[in-house]
Structure formats: structure tokens, C-alpha cells
Chain A
Amino acid sequence: MDFTLHIWRQHGAAEAGRFVTYPVRGISPDLSFLEMLDVLNEELVGRGEAPIAFDHDCREGICGSCAMVINGDPHGPLPGTTTCQLYMRHFANGAEITVEPWRARAFPVLRDLIVDRAALDRVIQAGGYVSVNTGAAPDAHALTVSKQAADAAFEAAACIGCGACVAACPNGSAMLFTAAKVVQLAMLPQGRPERARRVIGMVEAMDDAGFGNCTNHYACAEACPKQIPARFIARLNREFLNAALTSREFVELARPHEHEE
């Protein structure tokens, strides 16, 4: 198959970028999108040009690093699919394909298609964990979890932290990511002791990172490769309002430093 690619090239964070057009020929329909880029990069290296920088790791849809916007869709046009699991047979032969990095103030471009997604890590650091005692493994029956709670937590836990929700949102909001992480732990008994401080810390860290605010478009859920539903954002709002209006943590624990960029 043949394609015409328009790819964003940018040498460094401080430099201006632009689109460069690359024709690719004789691509097997069974190559993944990343493998197609590998083929193009081999060609570029052969010509002495700098290869296109893109993020990738697992190439099996679980690490969340293969961030790129393909023809206006984060992770490409196939629903519930990461870029690494997208195959060239999903495109028409001869198609023009525009490839851009995630665009958000909180995700500065480092090079070509690679952006710095550390803002999501800061949200996690602000509460996306549970504190447990180390030592002997706990008794398997020590904490009971209902099937319903386990299923709901698992649905949220499917989030791979890729940032496609931010990339798709017209406001560059990270609400779906934050919602998935907050809801996952709020559903489980292990998450209960830190429940209030978690949601307060994560929402305030999200605000401080420069993400926008949700205006209920749900573009995030459409783009999410793990199909995290937008109603988790309503649950996040509920969790946060509950903590803000009733928890002692909201009054007693200081807000961390704002705008620590």
C-alpha cells in the first residue's frame, strides 16, 4: 500500500516545528502504524536524515506511550485502539495521513511527536496510590470486595495513562484520566483511608498542571483507547464535592504549591 504522510517535525522543545510531507510506498497492510513509521525511519536514516521521534514501548496496547494524533483522532480512527495496535489495513490505499503530537499546554513537545506527559505523573503523585504495610503477604480473605465494586474498579483501572483524553478534549482537560484513577481506588476498601485526601490532592494537582476544565463534550471517552466512560467524570465530581463539603482533610491539609512548573 502507498500513503502520503504529513508529519509534525520539531527539533527541540524551544524550536519551532512544521509539517513535512513523506510519501511511503509498498507498505504491507499488516504493518502496525508504528511499524510503518519504522520503515519510513529506516529510509530517512539511509538518506542521512534524522528519524521521526515517537514514543513507544510495549507495542501491545498496555503501556500508553504511543501518543500521536492521526488525522485528527488521538490513536487514530479505530475506537478502543492504541496507535501500536492500529494496522495499515485500516486505511485506504493512497490515503493522506496527518500525524501530530498531543497538543496541550501541560504536554510540551520535546521532539517531533514526543511530548512530556509528566503532568499526569504529578497528578498520580498527589494521591493516586494506596498506602499499605509491607512485610508478610496479607491474608487473601482479610478484606472482602463485592463483585460489583471489583468490576467497577477494574473498568476504571483499565486506564493506561496515555493522555489521549487530554489530546482529544477541546479544552485540554485531564478530567477523564483523573476520574479513572480516583474512581478505581475509591471503589476498593484499600483506597478508603486516603479517599478524601486523594481526590482533593489529585484534582488540585490537575488544576495546577495547566489542564483545562471539562465542558461535557465527552470527546475524551470517544478517543480513549480503553473506552473509559465519561460518567466516571460525574463520579469524580461527586467524590470531590463530597470531600470538599464534608471532609476535615479539605480544611486541615494545606494546598500544595501552585504552579510549580
Chain B
Amino acid sequence: MNRLVRLFRTSIGSKLVVAASGTLLLGFLFVHAGGNLLILKGPDALNGYADWMQGHPLLWGFRLGLLALFAVHVLTAIRLARANRAARPTPYRRIARLGARLPGRLMVFSGLLLLAFLIFHLLHLTVRAVGPEVQPLLDGAGRVDVYGMIVASFSEPLTAAVYLLAMGLLGLHLVHAIEGLFQTLGFNHESYQGLIRLLAPALTLLLVSGFAAIPLLVISGALGGG
């Protein structure tokens, strides 16, 4: 039997698939957040970056890759979660200390809500099928005015609230995911246990605040106000 086929049929192999795809998605999210923060340098920087990306020959390859990562991550995670549910057919009457592991127990919940948000997000800012009509669509240099679109969108309190809520969910997912991925990939060890425990909330906070900063700055009027 092929090595990889046999590996991915085991519990540890499947967990490896979730962890590896999750880690790559995490890497994407950091790049994405970094790109978004170009908004702080003004319309020219953000619109130029978006324009460069739109014209990139690898754009579709990258998008398909991301789609595949999401599909693999979600489908494998759901397959494992179903097997886990089946492994305890009779529930306990009492379970002690349930609350202490809440983010971990909500992984499927937070993950599926993130997926729903992702679809909304793509419809909103990529396909632009929902959200405000932005006029004019192009900036002075003839590029899509992403800056104007973002400011207009987040000026609507409801849209900003949806994005902020989603970032809360992302934090809920990642605080457990980042700690877990070191364990799943086999890195957890006495020597860096403390570091990992610190790294998970720190990286989560960094990423979530990077994303959430933009709607917050727009609402507060610090961005796009003038």
C-alpha cells in the first residue's frame, strides 16, 4: 500500500492533514492581514496593491490552492468530528470542568460559522453582490477603489459588526488551533511547552487585532474621515 494513503487513513495521519492545512491557512491569513493594513498608508498604497494582485498571472492558481486547502481542512475536520461523536454513544450524566476547554469544544461550531462568514466576505468584497453601491468604482488612477469601498462598507454599523463578530470567532478558533497544531505536528516538548502556551494567545491576538483594526478605525472616523 502506498505510504501516504496508509498514513492518511489513520487517526494521526488525518489529524496531520487538519493541522498542516490549518497552518497553511494561518500563514495565508497573516499575509492577508498584512496586505489589508496597507490601508493605513492611504488609498494609493491599498489600491496599488489590489491592482497588482488582480493582474498577477498566478492569481487563479493561488485562489484554487486556497480553495483546496479550505476544502481539505473542513472535510477532514468534519470526518474526524463525526468519528469522535460516534466514539461515545452514551453521554455522561455529569461532566466535571467542562468550561475549561470551551474553545476546544467549539472548534466545529466556530469553524462552520467562519465558513459562513467567508462566503459572505467573498460575496461582499470580491464578487460585490452584497453591500453598498460604491460610486465611482475607480479611483483617480483608473484602478478599482478598494479604499473607498472599504470605508463605505464599514461606515455601515451592521457590516462592521458582522466583521468584528467574525474576528471574535476567528480568535476562538485559533487560540485552540495554534496551541494544538504544535502538539499534532509533534513539536510539543517540555523545553518549549511554556513558549507554546504563550505563543497561541499572542499570535491569535496579533492576527485578530490586525484584521479588526480596520473596521474599528473606520467606525471611529480615524480612517477615510477626511
Contacts and interface: CB of A to CB of B under 8 A. Distances in A.
B186 A237 contact: yes
A103 B180 contact: no
A89 interface: no
Contact of A71 (B88, B90, B94): B94
Contacts of A235: 186, 189
A204 B10 CA distance: 7
Interface residues of A, number: 48
A217 B101 contact: yes
A213 B187 CA distance: 18
Query: Which secondary structure dominates where chain A touches chain B?
Result: mixed
Contacts of A104: 87-88
Contacts of A233: 183, 188
B1 A212 contact: no
A77 B97 CA distance: 10
Q: How large is the interface on B (under 10, 10 to 19, 20 to 34, 35 or more residues)?
A: 35 or more
A170 to B, nearest CB: 6
Contact of A237 (B12, B88, B96, B97): B12
A255 B88 contact: no
Contacts, number: 134
A250 B91 CA distance: 36
B81 to A, nearest CB: 8
A34 interface: no
Contacts of A212: 83-84, 86-88
Interface string B112-155: 00000000000000000000000000000000000000000000
A216 B104 contact: yes
Contacts of B96: 71-73, 77
B54 interface: no
Interface stretch (B13-21, B32-40, B158-166, B202-210): B13-21
A213 B84 contact: yes
B179 interface: yes
Contacts of B88: 103-105, 170-172, 212
Interface string A219-250: 10010000000110111111011001100001
B11 A170 contact: no
Given A234-B182, A250-B6, A255-B1, A213 B80 contact: yes
A185 interface: no
B90 A250 contact: no
B184 interface: yes
B6 A240 contact: no
B86 A105 contact: yes
Contacts of A216: 104, 176, 179-180, 183-184
B186 A238 contact: yes
Contacts of A222: 97
A178 to B, nearest CB: 10
A186 to B, nearest CB: 13
B6 A72 contact: no
Given A170-B105, A255-B1, 6 more contacts: A98-B93, A104-B87, A170-B84, A206-B11, A213-B14, A255-B6
Interface of B: 1, 3, 6-7, 10-16, 80, 83-84, 86-97, 101, 104-105, 107, 176, 179-180, 182-190, 193
15 contacts: A71-B94, A72-B94, A98-B93, A103-B92, A106-B87, A170-B84, A171-B88, A213-B11, A213-B83, A214-B15, A219-B97, A230-B188, A233-B188, A234-B189, A250-B6
